[in-house]
Structure 1
Amino acid sequence: MNKHKIYYHLPGLFEFYDFYQVFLELYRQHREYFYDWCEIGSIYGAPADAIWGGGRVGFGDADAKAVAKLMREHGISARLTFSNSLLRPEHLQDPRCNRLCELFADSQNGIIVASDLLLSYLMEKYPQFYFVSSTTKVLTDFAELVTECNRPEFRYVVPDFRLNPETERLSNMSPQQKAKVEFLCNECCWFDCYDRKACYENVSRKSLGEAVEDHICVSPTAERGYRLSDAMNNPGFIGLHEIQNIYAPRGFAQFKLEGRGLGSAVLLEMLLYYMVKPQYHLVVREEIYLDSMLDLF
């Protein structure tokens, strides 16, 4: 393997607090279990009651002060997922979301956004944060991705996963543009989905408290739910081989894992696959499973 340094952005900042209490300590105390070419770039998420939230809804009940303290203790960037795309000016004064910004305001931390209205507000009121352009924008046109990467407001840009296979055009990006691209690796959404933006907008409406029906997924395998094994068969999947032998040698270093709405047992399997040396998989499983404070089911 080529030993390019890469950074993973992990799901579940508020959703998997108990899990990360155990996992991050293991990561700190036993770095030898993990590939030396990878680091944790950030952990992202949002409380269930945050109206600025998007992407997923109804998850994340950990105490915000405890979450912020855990991230500071481990020196890991916390990213608030404020990717609601349907915000209006009256939503900007929401007390809950502003308190979260005040609590996490630190140059180490970031905010994932989809709304330019919210971005302008945050840049003015909370300039300590860095900002990430959300995958919920569904940037499937390559020219739009390049334009987004050229925006100085964003440190990172997460394109739609269907641009992942465009390795030839991605290779022709400038080094500055490449440094901003953050690939969503393990999406199991149908590659030919024509309704992805509507799905995200449905989540945004729910976050705002609107009474809307659940979005009906058009994927042929929707009834199976998320399975990492299905994601691995997705044409947009980026696995270990692809990271080290295709993307990293071309100058890309940022890789995002989805999974905020999944169980912690599934999250563990993803982290084992992407971060842990095979000879230590069982050791890490035992350390996590046998921790009496952690409920994986």
Structure 2
Amino acid sequence: MKQIIYYHLPGLFEFYDFYKVFLPLFREHKEYFYDWCEIGSIYGAPGVCLWGGGRVGFGDESPQNVASLMREYNVSARLTFSNSLLRNEHLSDKFCNKLCALFEKNGNTENGIIIHSDLLLEYIKDRYPGFFFVSSTTKVITEFDNFIEELKRDDFRFVVPDFRLNKELQQLESLPDKMKQKTEFLCNECCWYGCYDRKKCYENVSRKNLGENCDDHICVSPYASKGYRFSDAMKNPGFIGTDDICNIYAPKGFSHYKIEGRSLGSAIILEFLLYYMTKPEYQLKVREEIYLDSTLDLF
């Protein structure tokens, strides 16, 4: 496949130790990985981050260490600032502003902001103009006409629609090339396809990041008790696998794919990267390089 596919990977702060091992492996052993894929970015936010959204409580690595690692390997960092409930008084948060100052100009690679709030968007555009912006999937854009309107906005370099638009292939194919290159698909979502409460779930996370005293969101999925399982995500009607990317989406002109998983463990993140990026004959080799120990006991 001549077209380059860009994967946007989870855990900028959450999986620092993992990427500290994986990135040099990816750079030094390109023969292990498909030659048609690259790392487009790594995204995430510190566990305590007022502007954060999507997930809460994960990611305790030093921002300086994270910035240094991304700069060393020339990987684009995306700060997940997708809180949907921000007010004017939240814009002056010192920690979040320091993060912006640190990552705005961090080496030669452009860094981005995954964003929900237009209030925050205008604030960052004014004070930290070096960033580009990604419209967050937390907006839960499920209507195709709304998706097109979001794609039309010059503010965004990429737009991540709700995963339930992934298989609207006839409408997706009709998009002009410029809009196709702004589309970033969420590939491996495990959320119930029939979920009617997804926006409330994200709003609950936003409230928690703001320090509000609120109950946990109760997932309405009939499969919630199982937690995330990649095998179940593969059965999701919105799932986009490697065969789909190579044979359906890439030929239609789509290049950008987001892998979720900031709240999972590094072992399952490795499985994602093995599945999406690693040649089958080298998957065991990559496992061995990352964590396999001949004396390792799982139980």
Provide the rounded CA distance (Å) in 1 between the counterparts of 2:195 and 2:160.
18
Provide the rounded CA distance (Å) in 2 between the counterparts of 1:76 and 1:46.
16
Correspondence list, 1:172-191, <5 A: 172-191=174-193
1:253 matched to 2:252? The reply is: no
From 157, 160, 165, give the equivalent of 2:159. 157
1:54 matched to 2:53? The reply is: yes
1:279 matched to 2:278? The reply is: no
Provide the rounded CA distance (Å) in 1 between the counterparts of 2:9 and 2:215.
29
Provide the rounded CA distance (Å) in 2 between the counterparts of 1:86 and 1:103.
24
TM normalised by structure 2 equals 0.96
Specify the alignment match of 1:7 in structure 2. Answer: 6
Provide the rounded CA distance (Å) in 1 between the counterparts of 2:104 and 2:57.
24
Provide the rounded CA distance (Å) in 1 between the counterparts of 2:73 and 2:251.
29
Specify the alignment match of 1:27 in structure 2. Answer: 26
Provide the rounded CA distance (Å) in 1 between the counterparts of 2:100 and 2:110.
13
- The CA RMSD over aligned residues, in Å, is 1.3
Give unpaired runs (5+ residues) of structure 1. Answer: none
CA contact (8 A) 1:189 1:219 kept: yes
Deviation at 1:196, TM superposition (A): 0.2
Provide the rounded CA distance (Å) in 1 between the counterparts of 2:58 and 2:83.
15
Deviations 1:11-45 (A, max 9, x none): 00000000000000100110110000000000000
* SS of the residue 1:93 aligns to: coil
Correspondence list, 1:35-50, <5 A: 35-50=34-49
Specify the alignment match of 2:225 in structure 1. Answer: 223
Deviation at 1:290, TM superposition (A): 4.1
Specify the alignment match of 1:98 in structure 2. Answer: 97
Specify the alignment match of 2:127 in structure 1. Answer: 125
Provide the rounded CA distance (Å) in 2 between the counterparts of 1:67 and 1:289.
21
Amino acid corresponding to residue 80 of structure 2 in structure 1: T
Specify the alignment match of 1:239 in structure 2. Answer: 241
CA contact (8 A) 1:3 1:244 kept: no
Provide the rounded CA distance (Å) in 2 between the counterparts of 1:213 and 1:3.
49
Provide the rounded CA distance (Å) in 2 between the counterparts of 1:241 and 1:285.
22
Deviation at 1:80, TM superposition (A): 0.2
Amino acid corresponding to residue 88 of structure 1 in structure 2: R
Deviations 1:55-114 (A, max 9, x none): 000000001000000001000000000000000000000000000000001361000000
Sequence identity, in percent? 68
Amino acid corresponding to residue 273 of structure 1 in structure 2: Y
Give unpaired runs (5+ residues) of structure 2. Answer: none
